[in-house]
A = this chain, B = another copy of it.
Amino acid sequence: MSLPTSTRTALGAIFAADALSTEPAECLAYAYDNSRRESLPDAVVFPTREEQVVALVRLCREHAIPLTARGRGTNTTGASVPVSAGIVASFERMNRILRIDPDNRMAVVEPGVLNADLQAALKPHGFFWAPDPTSAPYCSIAGNIACNAGGPRAVKYGATRDNVLALRAVNGRGESFRCGKPTSKGATGYDLTRLLVGSEGTLAVITEATLKLTPLASDKRTLRATYVDIGAAASAVARIMAQPVTPCALEYMDDQALRLARNHAGGSIPEAGAMLIIEIDGETDALPSAVAAIRKAASVDGLLELHAASDAAEVATLWAARKALSPALRTIAPNKINEDVVVPVSRVPDLIAGLRDISLRHGIPIVTFGHAGNGNIHVNLLYRPEDPTQAANAPACLSEVFDLVFALDGTLSGEHGIGLVKREFMPRAIDAVSLDLMRRIKAQFDPDGILNPGKLLPD
């Protein structure tokens, strides 16, 4: 299906020729995201001003054209794939940092600013923005907001939802509105700001964001703790989180993830049943006692070695190994199923034990790593479609993973979101009344269902 000539003409009245494409070859670059799902849009536009977004939404509404707003497509759930074709609005050119205001601990940005560009601009002021997904160098702020992005720092500094003060957006009626305020407190009506965070472009298109900034800590220590098995590592995580010193990263890798990391980073990555990367930040003179508290909590039965990184190079190696895991797993198993479940921290040992059992029963290797301090475990089912047993077992295996997670009072996603690939599981994660309320809210913001159709909510 391509757009009627009249619609193309109307689009041309909103966007200059170099900010609009209907060429399939050009549209193809906006057909997919990091989920490897693909669906060709009929047109791609590149807004740079809010008025264009308002005019675009109104045009889409008038002609019932699906509209998918898009940052840099780094999400893993298909949330930015235009499954119903229509128009993709890519915000890559609407990317100015409008204001950095350290006195008020805030920054105002356009949607397309890259996370890492913002962090670089904030650093000289002594501040940072907390969300730090692995894709920080090439993911956009509005993408982070749409998906409620997290990352390792969330264990201490919160995810995106905890770090947005105000938004400007355009709803599915083509109405521009502002919600929130550039203040750290507010009790003035319903919290539309946090309702938009994590709504994956289904309620409104974000055109400006006022972000809460956090002061950079003066100093940091990095520890590497290895354990005989994942059960021991999981107990250490629960103990670390039950005491007062909150690490600014508490990452976990299982034995198979460690093996992969060794392939990537070499012998500096130890062999063990499981490893934690623990970072503690703060004022320099506070760190010795903080590190001592963490060391004590991490020293559970089954600890093999607790090693403090000696220099920046060693820290860099540890993190490079951790960040290489996801691509490395994809190389081994291009069709791996990558889940992003979250359970209460104290249930992580049960989760890991249960996953082992599921893996054995279905003959599908499961590799786990992730943000253990939040109970947010990336569960990778290394499923190979060419193996008939695995192909047959994969759906039941995944379903059992979710059964396990729900039984442990956890949920579908800690930070990746729902998008296309997890929405069929929503009725198992969210009760029927809440799901009905979500649908009703969606219908208020977007009565014609033009904003990112086919995402987040199940049919």
- The total of chain A residues at the interface (CB under 8 A) is 94
Q: Could you tell me the distance between the alpha carbons of A106 and B182 in the complex, rounded to whole angstroms? A: 29
Please tell me if A218 contacts chain B, counting CB pairs below 8 Å.
yes
Please tell me if the beta carbons of A374 and B216 are within 8 angstroms of each other in the complex: no
- The distance in angstroms between the C-alpha atoms of A10 and B129, with both chains bound, is 54
Docked pose: A300 CA to B102 CA in angstroms: 18
Asked whether A450 is an interface residue with its Cβ less than 8 Å from the other chain, the reply is: no
CB nearest neighbor in B for A149: B187
Kindly report which residue of chain B lies nearest to residue A177, judged by CB atoms.
Answer: B433
Q: Please report the C-alpha to C-alpha distance between residue A290 and residue B101 in the assembled complex, in whole angstroms.
A: 22
Known contacts: A179-B434, A437-B171, A444-B444. The answer to whether A411 contacts B186 by CB under 8 A is yes
Task: Tell me which residues across on chain B come within 8 A of A22, comparing CB atoms.
Answer: none
Take A242-B103, A285-B286 as given contacts and tell me if A147 and B187 are in contact as well, using a CB distance cutoff of 8 Å.
Answer: yes
The segment from A44-52, A65-73, A339-347 found at the interface with B is: A339-347
Asked if A175 contacts B104 (CB within 8 A), the reply is: no
16 A–B contact pairs at CB < 8 A?
A: A101-B346, A104-B241, A105-B345, A106-B344, A150-B185, A183-B411, A186-B414, A187-B418, A188-B413, A190-B441, A191-B194, A215-B245, A215-B246, A283-B289, A286-B286, A437-B444
Cβ of A374 to closest chain B Cβ, rounded Å: 4
A76–B290 Cα distance when bound, in Å, is 41
- Scan A430-452; emit 1 where CB is below 8 A from any B CB, else 0: 11011101101110110000000
Using Cβ atoms and an 8 Å threshold, which residues of chain B touch A417?
187-188
Q: Residue A224 at the B interface, CB < 8 A?
A: no
CB nearest neighbor in B for A173: B433
From B185, B197, B246, A375 is in contact (CB under 8 Å) with: B185
Tell me the bound Cα distance from A344 to B108 in angstroms: 13
- With A190-B441, A433-B171 given, is the CB distance from A184 to B198 under 8 Å? no
Contact A126 to B445, CB < 8 A, known contacts A183-B411, A184-B374: no
Q: Does A176 contact B (CB under 8 A)?
A: yes
Select the residue from A185, A345, A456 with max chain B CB neighbours within 10 A.
A185
Complex Cα–Cα for A113 and B378 (A): 37
When distances are taken between beta carbons in the complex, the residues of chain B under 8 Å from A205 are: none
Least distance between A217 CB and chain B CB atoms (Å) = 7
A147 CA / B188 CA spacing, docked (Å): 10
Stoichiometry (number of copies): 2
Q: Which residue of B lies closest to A154 (CB)?
A: B185
Please, which residues of chain B bring their CB within 8 A of the CB of A430?
188-189
A interface residue numbers (CB < 8 A to B): 101-106, 126, 147-148, 150, 154-155, 159, 161-162, 171, 175-179, 181-192, 194-195, 197-199, 203, 215-218, 238, 241-246, 282-286, 288-290, 340, 342-346, 371, 374-376, 409-418, 426, 429-431, 433-435, 437-438, 440-442, 444-445, 456-457
A185:B159 contact, CB within 8 angstroms: yes
Instruction: Quote the shortest CB–CB distance from A396 to chain B (angstroms).
Output: 22
Smallest beta-carbon distance A34→chain B, Å = 15
- On whether the beta carbons of A155 and B178 are closer than 8 Å, the reply is no
* Alpha-carbon gap, A425 to B105, bound state (A): 27
Q: Given the complex of chains A and B, what is the CA–CA distance between A158 and B340 in angstroms?
A: 27
Starting from the known contacts A183-B410, A188-B413, A285-B289, 6 additional A-B residue pairs (CB-CB under 8 Å) come to: A103-B241, A103-B344, A181-B342, A187-B340, A215-B246, A284-B289
B243 touches A433 (CB 8 A): no
Q: A101-B346, A191-B198, A242-B102 are in contact. Are A437 and B177 (CB under 8 A)?
A: yes
